[in-house]
Amino acid sequence: MTWYKVPDLQYTTNPFIKKVKINGKGICLVGYEGTIYAISSTCPHAGGELSGGWCRDGKITCPIHRYSYNLNTGRGDPGQNDYVDTHPVEIREDGIYIGMTSFFEKVKQAFK
């Protein structure tokens, strides 16, 4: 896993949703109830932009067809049968970092 510093973002307990580009991937950063979550910014249903959505009950809701995804696990609501990728977040002295695992690393772990 490689850790990437998020540019232009300081830790805050205020709620926010922001899209950033990290290592070429669109990441949706969500500040929700004092915790920062990092999930894929593309909705797996039909490609909606999750950073245009809203949060409630620990989930983010896509603005296009209102599918919802758990901010912790990435799981879609029952019946959706889908999920979004989630990434670990670390708050360090010099900023916010997101951990990302490459496709190659995931394949390597699958065959351990």
Residues forming the site for ligand FES (CB under 6 A):
43, 45-48, 62, 64-65, 67
Distance CA 81, CA 70 (A): 13
Cβ nearer to ligand FES, comparing 65 with 108: 65
Burial (Cβ within 10 Å: 0-12, 13-18, ≥19) of residue 38: buried
For the stretch 70-74, contacts whose Cβ atoms lie closer than 8 Å and that sit 24 or more positions apart, written own/partner, are 71/30, 71/32, 71/37, 71/39, 72/37, 74/39, 74/40
Cβ nearer to ligand FES, comparing 31 with 76: 76
Rounded to a whole number of angstroms, the minimum distance from the CB of residue 63 to ligand FES is 7
Rounded to a whole number of angstroms, the minimum distance from the CB of residue 103 to ligand FES is 23
Cβ nearer to ligand FES, comparing 25 with 45: 45
Rounded to a whole number of angstroms, the minimum distance from the CB of residue 61 to ligand FES is 8
